[in-house]
Structure 1
Amino acid sequence: MNQLWGYLIIEELVRNGIDYFVISPGSRSTPLTVAVAQNSQANKIICLDERAAGFHAIGYARATGNPAVLICTSGTAAANYLPAVIEASIDDIPLIILSSDRPPELRQTGANQTINQVNLYGNYPTWQFDLPCPTAEISPNVVLTTIDLAISRARQAPGGVVHLNCMFREPLAPTDAHVEIPASLVKWHEDRAPYTRYAAKLTIPAIAEIQSLIETIASTERGILFVGQLKSTAEIKAVIKLAARLNWAIFADIQSGLRLCQDFPNLIHYFDRLLLTDIAVELEQIDTIVQIGTKIVSAQWFKWIEKHPPTNYIAIANNPDRYDPNHLVSFRIESDITYLCDRLSQHLPQLSPSTWVQKLRSASDRIGVTAAKFLKTSKLTEPLIARTISELIPSQHGLWVSNSMPIRDLDMFGVGASAEDFPSISLRVGANRGTSGIEGAIASATGFAVGLQAPITAIVGDLSSLYDLNSLALLQHNLQPVIVVIINNDGGGIFSFLPIAKSTDLFEPYFGTPHGLKFDRVAAMFELDYYHPLNRDEFIHNYQQALAKNRSAIVEVTTDRSENLSLHQDLMRLCSSGNWQAIQQSID
């Protein structure tokens, strides 16, 4: 019965197009692991650490939009998925967990490796179910309908975490006996189709609400299209089409898929820095902001709109959750983003280009020139690393960005491909911004590579790397290479920007947390190529070397936290001064 149920669970997942399994070794999960191993259509990876496995699955799901399946044994193994469960839940990432459990008669008896796994993840899963021990008294059809429901709940917008707690009694190992398909499932066995097919669901607003939105947009004189995190190529293309129709100013987050386009019309690349300049007075009388997508990186944006709220603040997302930290949204639309953008593009009149938008674009371009000249005349720095990678990374690759300073630097100073490569440019940017934690960065990058089926560059801080060292083992099994650029500033660099940094007696031991560690021996341990450039030219050479070799590597860049703080402060002063001619002369 264990073998039969294990086969049914895995086979039904595969029939539904869910064929990527992340397995952590253990005994109680033997029926599931064996079923994956024996299924010729199942793709699998072995991940020793469940926490890393969870984030690897998240990276895969971010790339594909399809859930990976996590399989683990009983006890604290499943508990190690919790950080990934929280990240996936908050950011609507589809994830399916098959935790193995001991039978109910062993619960609360002191039996070894037995904990209470029911509702283990609290309210974070979108659906959870305690699957009973396999027995002849329960129809096997129950297994299939349960799996089909679980898949539907994980996939249907907005998506999320599904937890199936699977109890098994011994014996767990497969026997030589042939597993008979029950008579009730013979047709299912022969058809090779899912037992219960769930129709796709599309979230569509009422026609009257769409018309109201069209009227507001059409009557807007000064409008900003703010593009937050987008999750698919289809969403990116639909937003691009709408942006061309609007001719509004476009503020694009690094996770949007638009931020790293060099010459897309009306794209205000450096809007975050622009908000610090005199030209920002032009933004104080905004009629309408339409925000598509969530999880915005720029803290400066939130500060600005709190002081200068628009007349209309319209938020569009494919989930019912409130994403409004400033409490300014006046109209919220839950909708499939691709559908709504296509509908708006069809029915909106073509709006004319605005001299106001051109003024913003001109000021933004001058900030870009200023930043480029300043960074290229300085030594190897953290903003320079982010900018250089955005310039050099091939468009068919993927880019994974860790939290804290790397994603902020890329969001503020990144630059991308030229107009002739857009909108066909395929560079995808991934990050874990659900809870913005530093854990699982390397593991997520490896999953992102598997999902995209493309090489990945990951920009990761030193603390984040130390937190996730064991995930470097995954690089040995990834068919797609991952170049991990580790920015080592010997501690928590982002804390230098906080007021606590002025308390020098407390700052270093409790916030700066220097560790004095390097990553050369780590690279040797995991048999990875290693580079340690000391200046900008060396970094460019080493990074291009790593790209050309097409295999996983570590590129370690050593920076100084105090110098990094000063550099950012200098850049902020330069970009906000408004005296462009003096700036250019001082840099030249």
Structure 2
Amino acid sequence: MDSDATKQVYDILAKAAQICVEQDITVAVLCPGSRSAPVALSFLRNKNIKSYILPDERSAAYTALGLAKALQKPVILVCTSGTAALNFAPAIAEAFFSEIPLLVLTADRPQEWLGQADNQAIYQQNLYGKHVKQSYTFPLDLEHADSQWFALRQLNEAINFSTQKPAGPVHINIPLREPLYLTGTESFLPKEIPYKVTKLAKTKAFLDDSIYAELKKFKRIICIAGMNLPDENLQEIISENTAKYLVFIADITSNLHDTKNSLLYAELVLDNEAFTDEFSPDLIISFGGPIVSKTIKQFLRKSNAKHWHVGFSPAAADTFQKLDKILPIEPEAFFHEAIYAHNIVFDYEYFQSWQNAQNSVINKLKPVLENLPFSEVKAAYKILDKLPENSVLHSGNSLPIRYAAAFPSLPKNVQIFANRGTSGIDGSLSTAAGFSIFDSTKLNVLILGDLSFLYDSNGLWNNYLQSNLKIIVFNNHGGGIFRNLPGSAVQPELEEYFVVKQPLRMEGTAIQHNCRYIYCNDEKCFAESLELFFGENERPAILEIEFSEALKISEVKALLKS
């Protein structure tokens, strides 16, 4: 017979699952475990929640991150007690710095058994420290009505915290006593929730007119967009601003590269030192997250400009070491007000100087890239150029994202994602896999290096993958970026310690996970391999490209100057 206490736990957790539904959180990633069974079963048996079950907690957390990016709303993430919860940490840190909402639920042992040599018992309260927006612990005993109310109130508050801008992960630790199972198989879906769900109201912020009056005093204004989720309305209003001569730099991860008159090749423009003084701004306006290009960051740091950041974080990053104002308003609203309520027209001469310089770079770039020897740089350029329209590009960190940032020859309507919140190589495959399972009709292409692929190959240990996931592995047999960095490249321990040279190929991994495997190691087979790769419609595909030519981005930039 089931104990009353266990029934009460299941009842409250069923109500918690239904609160998630009421808050429009309907996707969960569940990692198998016994201590977490009451939590996981509450989501599994709620017919309004789509659950994905993944055994590797580190990979599962990144998969949830990818799903949350695709959905643009929180995803539930559940695991058992002990080190399982620690394995969520890398993806949680990425979600925090990328401002992606996750609702993280970790099952726990009762507090009295910590430090008593009990199984899977670690210190889980506040486990993720500053890498979550808020941490909570459910009451252990839920018999009293006040405890039930408190648990559900915590959940509701956590959800609202996760979605309030800047969005991010929240953590709820749930200690559970044995017995952990009921004998029945009922759905646990409560007919009525004895708790009133409190939703976060949407608001529109407005700035004082004095901000726009001050804006009109600046002549040389640069707007730069960092990492951002796709937003068609924002792209439209920025295009309307560039039509009024706003100088706009779209980072490769901004998802604003289709904005009219955007400066996609600003890095290559600024690589010519003759331009840097001419283009130095008076005011930098930024929004979004990190930017990839070190060249652009250094250029803006050297300027004498003031910096305004548009966004809701009171601790906005002072990336350019010139932060003067934080404007707590949506970027779309700010730029709409600028041109429609305050009739701001930006400086035409400054705008045209940038456009002319970019056009000059574009005219030189294609012949230079086409005449390169077969190398990672050339392959990246060709792949980006041949991506189908309306596809999704996922980039690994280190070299792949830098190739895309420097040579962004992209078709229209391609969304771009990368884990640039922490810029680790450890979860790129799992994140792309998570994104791809949300919408199986959309092509998802991941480009990453061999170490990143090997590190995260458990991202393929996933029963939900389909043929829309395409993975391109640049195999330079190690951490090739260290051969590009001036400091590490000259060290005698370069290959042993920095590159960590490895002899492996990816065919075995592809076969193990039932992926189509295609191999290429020269320009002759490259075009044919790409055609086979994009044409695979039955299962996920892995294209491994092995390189012998180690061409650096700096060498391509030197050719542009010659």
Alignment TM-score, normalising by the size of structure 1: 0.88
2:200 is matched with 199
> What residue is the counterpart of 2:166 in the other structure?
158
Is 1:243 matched up with 2:237?
no
Cα 1:537/1:214, change in 2 over 3 Å: farther
The aligned counterpart of 2:294 is 299
**1:472 to 1:179, Cα distance in 2 relative to 1, 3 A:** closer
2:373 aligned partner: 379
Q: Per the alignment, do residues 156 and 298 of structure 1 end up closer, same or farther by CA in structure 2, a change over 3 Å counting?
A: same
Alignment-derived partner of residue 508 in structure 1: 495
Q: Per the alignment, do residues 502 and 17 of structure 1 end up closer, same or farther by CA in structure 2, a change over 3 Å counting? A: closer
Checking the alignment, whether the CA contact within 8 Å between 1:73 and 1:101 is kept in structure 2 is yes
Cα 1:543/1:41, change in 2 over 3 Å: farther
Q: Please say if 1:84 is aligned against 2:82.
A: no
**Distance (Å, rounded) in 2 between the aligned partners of 1:134 and 1:373:** 70
> Equivalent of 1:286, from 281, 284, 294?
281
Aligned to 1:546: 533
Which residue of 170, 184, 193 maps to 1:188?
A: 193
**214, 217, 235: which one pairs with 2:215?**
217
For the structure 1 residues 250 and 156, does the alpha-carbon distance in structure 2 shift closer, same or farther, using more than 3 Å as the test? same
Residue number in structure 1 paired with 2:448 = 460
1:400 alignment counterpart: 394
CA distance in 2: counterparts of 1:504 and 1:67, whole angstroms: 45
Q: Which of 544, 548, 562 is the equivalent residue of 1:556?
A: 544
Q: Which residue of 2 aligns with 1:171?
A: 179
* Residues 522-542 of structure 1, C-alpha deviations (whole Å, 9 max, x = no match): 111111011112334633333
* CA drift at 1:518: 0.6
CA contact (8 A) 2:241 2:335 kept: no
Residue 477 in structure 1 maps to residue 485 in structure 2 = no
8 Å CA contact retained: 1:21, 1:44: yes
State the AA in 2 paired with 1:200.
A
**CA distance in 2 between partners of 1:480 and 1:236 (Å):** 31
Partner of 1:433 in structure 2? Answer: 420
Summarize the alignment of residues 49-60 of structure 1 with structure 2, pairs less than 5 Å apart.
49-60=56-67
- Residues 206-235 of structure 1: per-residue CA shift (max 9 Å, x gap): x32xx2332233333332221212224156
Matched to 1:99, the amino acid is T
More helix by share: 1
Letter in 1 for 2:173: N
Partner of residue 487, structure 1: 474
CA contact (8 A) 1:245 1:350 kept: no
Which residue of the partner structure matches residue 585 of structure 1?
none
Deviates more, 1:240-249 or 1:268-277: 240-249
Q: Distance in 2 between matches of 1:485 and 1:25?
A: 30
The two structures have a TM-score, normalised by structure 2, of 0.92
Q: Is the 8 A contact 2:132 2:170 kept in 1?
A: yes
Deviation at residue 506 of structure 1 after TM alignment: 1.3
Check conservation: 1:224, 1:289, Cα contact below 8 A. Answer: yes
Task: Note if 1:147 corresponds to 2:155.
Answer: yes
Secondary structure of the 1:255 match is coil
Q: 1:409 to 1:186 in 2, by over 3 A?
A: closer
Match of 1:327 among 316, 321, 329: 321
| Counterpart for residue 43 of structure 2 | 36
1:281, distance to aligned residue in structure 2 (A): 4.3
Contact 1:64 1:452 (C-alpha < 8 Å) held by counterparts: no
**1:201 deviation in Å?**
4.1
Deviates more, 1:232-241 or 1:297-306: 232-241
Change (3 A) 1:448 1:159: same
Amino acid at match of 2:256: L
2:437–2:464: 8 Å Cα contact kept in structure 1? Answer: no
Q: Could you tell me how far 1:351 is from its partner in structure 2?
A: 2.5
Counterparts in 2 of 1:515 and 1:197: CA distance versus 1, 3 Å: same
Q: Structure 2: which amino acid aligns with 1:569?
A: S
Give the secondary structure class of the aligned counterpart of 1:54: helix
Change (3 A) 1:91 1:179: closer
Aligned to 2:352: 358
Aligned position for 2:4: none
Runs of 4+ in 1 over 6 A off after TM superposition: 177-181
Q: Report the equivalent of 2:559.
A: 574
CA contact (8 A) 2:521 2:547 kept: no
The separation in 1 between residues aligned to 2:203 and 2:365, in whole angstroms, is 43
| Cα 1:285/1:336, change in 2 over 3 Å | closer
For structure 1, which segment, 33-42 or 279-288, has the greater mean C-alpha deviation from structure 2 after superposition? Answer: 279-288
Count of aligned pairs between the two proteins: 552
CA contact (8 A) 1:546 1:553 kept: yes
CA contact (8 A) 1:4 1:179 kept: no
Which residue identity lines up with residue 304 of structure 1 in the other structure?
F
Where 2:447 maps in the other structure, the secondary structure is: strand
The answer (yes or no) to whether the contact 1:203–1:318 under 8 Å persists in 2 is: no
| Counterpart amino acid of residue 149 in structure 2 | N
CA contact (8 A) 1:12 1:195 kept: no
Change over 3 Å in CA distance of 1:536–1:502 after alignment to 2: closer
Taking only aligned residues, the RMSD between alpha carbons, in angstroms, comes to 2.4
User: Which ranges in structure 1 are unaligned for 5 or more consecutive residues?
Assistant: 578-588
User: Matched residue of 1:302: which SS?
Assistant: helix
1:414-453 deviations in Å (ceiling 9; x for gaps): 1123xxx5xxx3x211111111111111001112223455
Paired position in structure 2 for 1:47: 54
Tell whether the 8 Å contact from 1:379 to 1:535 is kept in structure 2 after alignment: no
Identity, in percent, stands at 27
Q: Which amino acid aligns with 1:12?
A: I
Counterpart of 2:519? 532
Q: Contact between 2:95 and 2:421, CA under 8 Å: does it hold in 1?
A: yes
CA 272–322 in structure 1, closer or farther in 2 if over 3 Å, else same: same
